[in-house]
Amino acid sequence: MADTNKVRYGFKNVYYSVLTETEGEVTFATPKAWKGAKSLTLDPEGDTQTFYADDMAYFTQSTNNGYSGTLEMAYLPDDVLKDIFGYFETNDGMLAEDANVAPKSVALLCEFNGDQKAVRHVFYKIVFGRPGTEANTQEDTIEPDTQSIDITCVPIADGEHNWIKAKCPSTSAKYATFFETAPKLPVPQEEA
């Protein structure tokens, strides 16, 4: 399962899979494509704490609370507004946002190119902030506006594990159907 890439570039094939948590069980819906991937920026969340004793760093502990950052897409299609942000279709054919509805958590699937092979990634639990609205006048050239959304990638508790993300190299048996089948939380080899 070695990744032979020397560099990573490109960002494409964004899919989302609505997550359901019921009484400790986590399930994911079949992934849906979300076209127009522009960028993904995720910074680690968590701290490193150092305890000093005997005039030295006696104990150091790091915490991993996931990631936070921004997903930039070309557009928010109606399916995304309904599936993730809880917009409702109205009787007169509009889409309406209800302030009482919080965005749903989803798994976010995507692909990064490499110099040798593309690598697919899944972030198991993405919590979305509400998207803003921006529009600009057209000038002598057309420059598309994009949509940036604050996101947080948080761990999902599963027994002894708190899963955050996984990468799927092209050598994985899961690679061919990665975007077609619902994600599942990982099972380490020693537990299989």
pLDDT for res 23: 86
pLDDT for res 153: 98
8 A C-beta contact, residue 111 and residue 120: yes
pTM of the model: 0.89
Q: From CA 19, how far away is CA 163, in angstroms rounded?
A: 14
Q: From CA 29, how far away is CA 157, in angstroms rounded?
A: 18
One-letter amino acid for residue 74 of the chain: A
Q: How many CB atoms lie within 10 A of CB 141?
A: 5
Q: How far is CA 145 from CA 23, 71, 124, 135, 186, in A?
A: 41, 14, 28, 7, 37
Q: From CA 106, how far away is CA 86, in angstroms rounded?
A: 13
Mean pLDDT, contiguous 10-residue spans, the chain (192 residues): 76 97 92 97 91 91 92 96 96 96 97 89 97 86 92 95 94 95 92 61
Beta strands in the chain, from DSSP E residues, in sequence order: 8-22, 25-28, 32-33, 37-44, 48-53, 56-62, 67-73, 88-89, 95-96, 106-114, 119-128, 147-153, 156-158, 161-163, 165-168
